[in-house]
Amino acid sequence: MLAAFPLLLLSALNSNAQKKVDPDSLVNEAKKTEVWEPVPAVVTPGKTNADAPSDAIILFNGKNTNAFQKTDGTAIGWKIDQLGILNVVKGSGYIQTKEVFGSCQLHIEWRTPLAIAGSGQTRGNSGIFLMGRYELQVLDSYNNPTYPNGQAGSIYKQFIPLVNASRKPGEWQTYDIIFTAPQFFSDGTLQQPAYITVLHNGILVQNHVAIKGNTEWIGAAAYKAHNAKEPLAIQDHGLDGGNPDSFRNIWIRPL
Ligand code: MG
């Protein structure tokens, strides 16, 4: 900005060549569009972009699952292994955070099984449910055709990902999500939809799309009013055989 200033000043002086221009007055004019507050908080980045920054809430770091419970409030059935990885236990149900969140930045790492079982939607299916109801699909979409609005990186049944950024089965994958919570009028009607931006393995797959409502397997998505903050849930896709996905390194920054 400083380097550009003399040119700007010169240009301003030239354009006012016929007039007498006080440089101090120009500086004062320029100051009128300087914004000094608020000063952004200093945040120390992690060693890699996957490491939690200093102000993140750690939801899972391999040590315990204290941040999570089942949707009925009881202890989760998913298990941490010796490597500190959280594994879905088939049929044990969704897990969700005890803390509630609205707009957020979320980082989550996931892995579908190395041994391929099932196909299409029954191959590594899980899901990140923002506010417990808006699903970013988790699926093994490496050479696994399915309906594109249900593949990895899709907003399930709503938005096809811009690209298929999937890694191979058994490899760790990342989602970096920027989510803006929806807003409702006091009568429960929608004031502003939710928005979501998603990087899958560092690659943009959803660019600020307006979510259409609650994720539905059957029928059209529709909004139903809910709290300004709700738990973050992760899907156990149930009794299908090919979905024992794994998770690690989950952190969130409320916005
Ligand atoms: Mg799913």
What are the chain's domains? Answer: 1-39 (no CATH), 57-254 (2.60.120.560)
d(CA 36, ligand 1 centre) in Å: 45
Contact 91, 70 (CB under 8 A): no
Q: How far is the CA of 139 from the centre of ligand 1 (A)?
A: 7
Q: How far is the CA of 182 from the centre of ligand 1 (A)?
A: 21
Cα 253 to Cα 5, 59, 132, 192, 246: the distances in Å are: 37, 10, 17, 21, 22
In the reported structure, the alpha carbon of residue 236 is separated from the centroid of ligand 1 by a whole-number distance in angstroms of 8
Cα angle 157, 160, 164; round to 5: 130
Instruction: Provide the token pair at 27.
Output: 């500086």
Kindly report the number of other CB atoms within 10 A of residue 75's CB atom: 10
Written as tens digits, the pLDDT of the chain (255 aa) is 444 455 555 455 455 555 678 888 999 999 999 888 888 777 777 778 899 999 999 999 999 999 999 999 999 999 999 999 999 998 999 999 999 999 999 999 999 999 999 999 999 999 999 999 999 999 999 999 999 999 999 999 999 999 999 999 999 999 999 999 999 999 999 999 999 999 999 999 999 999 999 999 999 999 999 999 999 999 999 766 778 999 999 999 999
Q: What is the 137 CA–ligand 1 centroid distance (Å)?
A: 5
- Tokens 């699926």 — which residue? 139
Residue 28 alpha carbon to ligand 1 centre in Å: 57
